[in-house]
Amino acid sequence: MNEKFSVPVHTAIIMDGNGRWAKKRGLKRTEGHKKGVEIVRRIVKASADYGMKFLTLYAFSTENWRRSKEEVNFLFHLFVTAINEYIPELKENKIKINFIGDPSPLPDFVKRSIQHAFNETAGNDRMILNIALDYGGRREIVQAVNKILSLGKKAKITEETFKNFLYTAGQPDPDLIIRTGGEKRLSNFLLYQSAYSELFFTDTLWPDFTEKEYLEILKDYSKRERRFGKAT
């Protein structure tokens, strides 16, 4: 990439549209999820190449448990297969993988895969890739409050100290949140962290999302004036 522009330190993406992509083509929803995994690999590498330090991908929400048992089971097996195949590429590109969400309801084989991927990439320092798995923004906030209460803290909690109890503790808030698939909402994603994130919505379904469109979105972000409540 020769063109110079300001890249977000932290970008988060709601990867929406796999099922609709498959339906438009007369395919099973599972085929859309398979195609979506291919796009993840391209976007992750592009993000690291652009100099991004944090990338967070919304992979499975607390609400996704409402889908059919067959689809949820497929998603978990696809996730494990993809992660295991992806570890060598992550190590080659010096990308550390991290998982945010509540792992307790996940199947044991998924938990083992998560721990293995985390251990294998722990020494990488070029970019952190957060995978939001069984993630819900409201639950994250409630769990943070319960952690604070369990510690019996009597000192005043500030916005900064509260962040230390979130899944993203120690990481900057996302500068940019992108949602594919045409919907224009956050869907319980990074509710606390997104207070001043720039938002970008595209009608492109996730399996059709390209590095070219991603680059155009990043360029659009670089032209925005982020005032954080201050006057121009």
Which residues form the catalytic set?
16, 64
Q: At what angle do helices 29-50 and 211-223 cross, to 10 degrees?
A: 50
Q: At what angle do helices 69-92 and 29-50 cross, to 10 degrees?
A: 30
**Spatial contact of 59 and 18, defined as CB atoms under 8 Å apart:** no
**Beta partners for residue 96, in sequence order:** 128
Q: Spell out where the chain has E strands.
A: 10-14, 54-61, 95-100, 127-135, 176-179, 198-201
At residue 56, the 3 state secondary structure works out as: strand
Q: At what angle do helices 108-121 and 69-92 cross, to 10 degrees?
A: 10
Closest CA to 198 of 2, 9, 4, 44: 9
Distances (CA, A) of 66 to 5, 62, 78, 97: 41, 9, 18, 27
With tokens 């895969």, the residue in question is 113
Closest CA to 176 of 42, 53, 63: 53
Residue 130, phi then psi, degrees to nearest 5: -90, 125
